[in-house]
Amino acid sequence: MPNDHVKLPVSTSNDREHQSDIMPNNHERQPANMPNNHERQPANMPNNHEHQPAGATTVPLTINVNGKDHSLLIEPNLTLKQVLQFHLGLIGAKEMCDRGACGSCTVIMDGKPTLSCNILAAECGGKTVETVEGIAAIPKWKPLIDAYCKWDAMQCGYCTPGFLVAAKALLDKNPTPTEREINEALSGNICICGTYPRHSQAILEAVRKMAEEGDI
Amino acid sequence: MAGGGDLLGALKDDIFPEYPKTIVNIKTIPGLDDIKLEDGMIKIGALATLADIARNPIIAADAAALSEAAGKASSPTLRETTTIGGNLCQMPRCWYYRKLNNRFNCVRKGGEKCFALAGDNRYHSIFGGMAFKTAPNVNKTCIAVNQSELAPVLVVMGAKFVTTEREIEADAFFSVGVMSATVLGPGEILTEIKIPVGEYSRRCRYKRFAFRKSIDFPIINLAISANSDGNYRIYLGGVAPVPYRAANAEALLKGCEMSPELAKEAGDAAAAGARPFEANAYKVQLVKTLVKRELLAM
């Protein structure tokens, strides 16, 4: 009996129905708007056209990400977050709510903190985008990252890149923020682990350290 | 699509019975995000972002309540991309309307019934629904509220909304229709908001009540203004399908000296005629208290 292992203890007349209950077709189970498996592959897969909807065409996009110019052919339905991940392999900006409500996907676009899940990449032609990877590569911001580590301003860490980018955007504009200003600037980011007080502690310490080193 | 704060989420959630085939990017129209003072009016292009409005010195000087309202909408990051036009034209946040995959094909989407009437209506209207035509000779009622952060302030300031086809008084702009929260017709877009600078814009006060300070829509927001003759304008958001004018309270206050007793009476008058549903009677008390407090703080 090759099929023994999939049968329920209580047998009914309709085995076929049972089988489909126990072993659902995984593919059908996925909600319609889940990205398909191709999209989930590690990011630096080259331009994978299979996840575009029928009838969609690609559009050209020239974008400067972390100081490097990129000329891409992208699907018009992709958000900036998805292009950063699937086309450029930058997985720092995280997709959590995907509705612009949590701040995990924050990037800096033309100097302003922007939610990359809430903007279509096709609109970003000619823009300059800075992601958490770009910030981490600049020695000037090492004290900020060190302070985040020292104060342990994270638990699961999923929201941390968004917080860090928002903090950097704040420090660009206001190099000596008060705790209140920090809290206000980070109020668009949600951390479900509740590490909020540590973020302001870490940023305040980074500000002190950077002032000592003469970076700001 | 401009800032995309409303539409992009709606498309991702698949809440519409039909998808638009094409989405037009209007963000790149030059000059539509200007903020300037001209002929005694503050003119704000519809593409001006909420962050631009919140930190603009012209608005801060002559219409401070608008800066305050814009600075409290959604979250600091989202304010950098979302626009004043989108804030005014946004669709309601009713959870039946917004449910994933068009689970509830409600009257605002051309469907048969309003699910909030018999369902969970804790965030819905306390001044009844608003009837509109879903088809010729078919009248339906929606009880979702207008939760625009800026609408009450602009109406109180007597703003005028310029579209591609006409100029509309702010309080006549908001409406209820199938897939629409304004009187804009097909192909018509909001281009400019004109605020007459004067006593109503300078003395305006704005207050919102929400569960969270950030990333939250107001449960109730209100704007109050008065001129030196003692004429008051009071508008409430979040209590009716369009910004609600507390006409009873305005009449009561006309020409009177403010006192704690009068403020309390005005608060009660503002909530007069409220017909809350089973889950939202708390909003009546909120209206009374907020109006009273803001009048005393003026």
Q: What CATH number is attached to the domain comprising A141?
A: 1.10.150.120
Domain count across chain A = 2
The CATH number fitting domain B201-297, selected from 3.30.160.20, 3.40.50.300, 3.20.20.70, 3.30.390.50: 3.30.390.50
Same-domain pairing of A145 and A159: yes
Q: What is the pLDDT of residues B36-53, one digit of tens each?
A: 999 999 999 999 999 999
- pLDDT of the residue at B22: 87
Residue A35 lies in a domain: no
CA distance B252 to B232: 9
Q: pLDDT, tens digit, for every residue of B178-218?
A: 999 999 999 999 999 999 999 999 999 999 999 998 899 99
* Co-location of A63 and A126 in the same domain: yes
Provide the residue ranges of all domains of chain B, joining segments of one domain with +. 201-297
From the list B27, B28, B81, which residue is nearest A118 (CB)? B81
What pLDDT, on a 0 to 100 scale, did the predictor assign at position A17?
Answer: 40
Asked if residue A19 belongs to a domain, the reply is no
Q: Print the domain residue range for A78.
A: 56-131
- Asked if A75 and A102 sit in the same domain, the reply is yes
Q: Which amino acid is at A29?
A: R
Q: What is the pTM of this model?
A: 0.85
Indicate whether A173 belongs to any domain: yes
Which alpha helices (H) appear in chain B, and where do they start and end? 7-13, 50-54, 57-62, 64-72, 76-79, 84-89, 151-156, 170-173, 199-202, 247-253, 260-270, 282-297
* Any domain includes A185: yes
The answer to whether the CB of B234 falls within 8 A of the CB of B226 is no
**Beta partners for residue B139, in sequence order:** B133
Q: CA of A106 to nearest chain B CA: how many angstroms apart? A: 8
CATH number at residue A75: 3.10.20.30
Q: Measured between CB atoms, does A189 come within 8 Å of chain B?
A: yes
Nearest CB to A33 within list B9, B12, B213: B12
Task: Give the pLDDT confidence of A157-181 residue by residue, as tens digits.
Answer: 999 999 999 999 999 999 999 999 9
**Is residue A147 located within the same domain as residue A120?**
no
For the four alpha carbons of A126, A131, A133 and A136, in that order, the dihedral sign comes to positive
| Residue closest to A171 by CA, chosen among A195, A197, A196, A147 | A147
pLDDT at A51: 52
Helix (H) or strand (E) holding B45: strand B41-45
In chain B, the residue whose alpha carbon lies closest to the alpha carbon of A76 is B23
CB contact under 8 A, B14 and A33: yes
A127, A143: one domain: no
Which one of A31, A106, A187 has the shortest CB-CB distance to B213?
A: A187
According to DSSP, the β-strands at B232-237 and B220-226 are antiparallel
Same domain for A121 and A143? no
Calpha distance A174→B65 (Å, rounded): 25
A103 interfacial to chain B (CB closer than 8 Å): yes
A148 & A126 share domain: no
* pLDDT > 70 fraction of chain B, expressed in percent and rounded: 100
Average pLDDT over residues A9-21: 40
B40 and B120 in contact (C-beta within 8 Å)?
Answer: no
The one-character DSSP state at A69 is: E
Query: Pick from A91, A110, A131: which residue ends a domain?
Result: A131
Same domain for A110 and A146?
A: no
Answer whether A188 sits within 8 Å of B25, measured CB to CB.
no
A73 against A27, higher pLDDT: A73
In a domain, A38, yes or no: no
